[in-house]
Amino acid sequence: MQIFIFKRILIFSTVFTLLFSSCSSVYMPNVPNSPMLSAKGEVHASGHVSLRGNVNLNTAFAVSNHMGVLFNGSFMNQTKNKKDFRQDLVEGGAGYFTTFGADKSRILEIYAGLGKGNTDRVFRTFENDGTITDDVQNVRFRKSFIQVNYSSKEKKSLKLFGKSYPLNYGTILRVSHVNMIDFVRNNVAQPLEDNTFLEPVFFTRLKLNNAVQLQYTSGSNFGLKNRDFLKAGNSVFTVGVVVNVGGNTFK
């Protein structure tokens, strides 16, 4: 039953992403860190990439049996005929994690952190007389976030080529506040904007061995304020590789 629910959620989130990923925003959300830490000394590292070329690198370390620190970075450099989009984003945070359940296979994590980034966009308009007009937008922003991660190991596995691969599932509920600290459009300073984003994310991991898993991530992005530039519209839809070393071996 739980697997069925997760599948329905993933399908809905994927459809939502494909429908609304073309919306224009100066903020591209990164993949939230979901290290699934279980014990002191565990190290997490992961890399994810979206269809649009947004590359995410996440790391985490369990400094005790219940406290963890994390660091996230993402970058994107997309060039098209009518639009260029480049963003760099870094984050750092810390929080609490715990395992529970009969076999300690369920993990609850709560993290909060800060980040900063910059976005450069160029829109090109091609006139009938052959001239090209550029709309150049440069934004620097700060970010704060809080997130709750819930993940669990499922007994059901995926069978491929006669071999069974265990599946892990997780949900991340993140709230991010993003505020511009500088906004220049065509070399002219613009009014600054801020927004609060609700970013629910769902992931599925396929375990290759005790340390390495493949991850599919799908999520949405909702802005609580009506903004012209710093608004919702870009969602999370990535595939990646996850590595966890140390901690408990149930994963």
Nearest to 25 by CA among 128, 130, 141, 107: 141
Q: Given a cut of 50, is residue 134 above it in pLDDT?
A: yes
Task: State how far Cα 93 lies from the chain centre.
Answer: 14
- pLDDT confidence band for 156 (50 / 70 / 90): confident
Which one is predicted more confidently, 159 or 237?
Answer: 237
139-162 average pLDDT score: 89
pLDDT for res 24: 79
- Using CB atoms within 10 Å of the CB of residue 104, give its burial: 0 to 12 exposed, 13 to 18 middle, 19+ buried: middle
139-153 average pLDDT score: 95
SS (H, E, C) the chain: CHHHHHHHHHHHHHHHHHHHCCCCCCCCCCCCCCCCCCCCCCEEEEEEEECCCCEEEEEEEECCCCEEEEEEEEEEEEECCCEEEEEEEEEEEEEEEEEECCCCCEEEEEEEEEEEEEEEEEEEEECCCCCEEEEEEEEEEEEEEEEEEEEEEEEEEEEECCEEEEEEEEEEEEEEEEEEEEEEECCEECCCCEEEEEEEEEEEEEECCCCEEEEEEEECCEECCCCCCCCCCCCEEEEEEEEEECCCCCC
Nearest to 39 by CA among 93, 111, 104, 113: 104
Q: Tell me the per-residue pLDDT of 69-127, one tens digit each, with 9 for 90 and over.
A: 999 999 999 999 899 999 999 999 999 999 998 788 899 999 999 999 999 999 999 88
Q: Which of 116-120, 129-133, 146-150 has the lowest mean pLDDT?
A: 129-133
The rounded distance, in Å, linking the Cα atoms of 251 and 245 is: 10
Q: Tell me the per-residue pLDDT of 222-236, one tens digit each, with 9 for 90 and over.
A: 999 999 999 998 888
pLDDT for res 5: 41
Q: Does residue 113 contact residue 145 with C-beta atoms inside 8 Å?
A: yes
Look over the chain and give the mean of its residue pLDDT values, rounded to a whole number. 89
Q: Tell me the per-residue pLDDT of 11-38, one tens digit each, with 9 for 90 and over.
A: 444 444 444 444 479 999 999 999 999 9
- Using CB atoms within 10 Å of the CB of residue 159, give its burial: 0 to 12 exposed, 13 to 18 middle, 19+ buried: exposed
The rounded distance, in Å, linking the Cα atoms of 64 and 5 is: 33
pLDDT for res 20: 41
Nearest to 141 by CA among 118, 175, 112: 118
The rounded distance, in Å, linking the Cα atoms of 10 and 6 is: 6
The rounded distance, in Å, linking the Cα atoms of 118 and 203 is: 27
pLDDT for res 249: 53
Q: Which of 63-72, 153-162, 205-214 has the lowest mean pLDDT?
A: 153-162
Q: What is the pTM of this model?
A: 0.86
Q: Token digits for 6?
A: 């997760």
Q: Given a cut of 50, is residue 7 above it in pLDDT?
A: no
Which one is predicted more confidently, 241 or 22?
Answer: 241
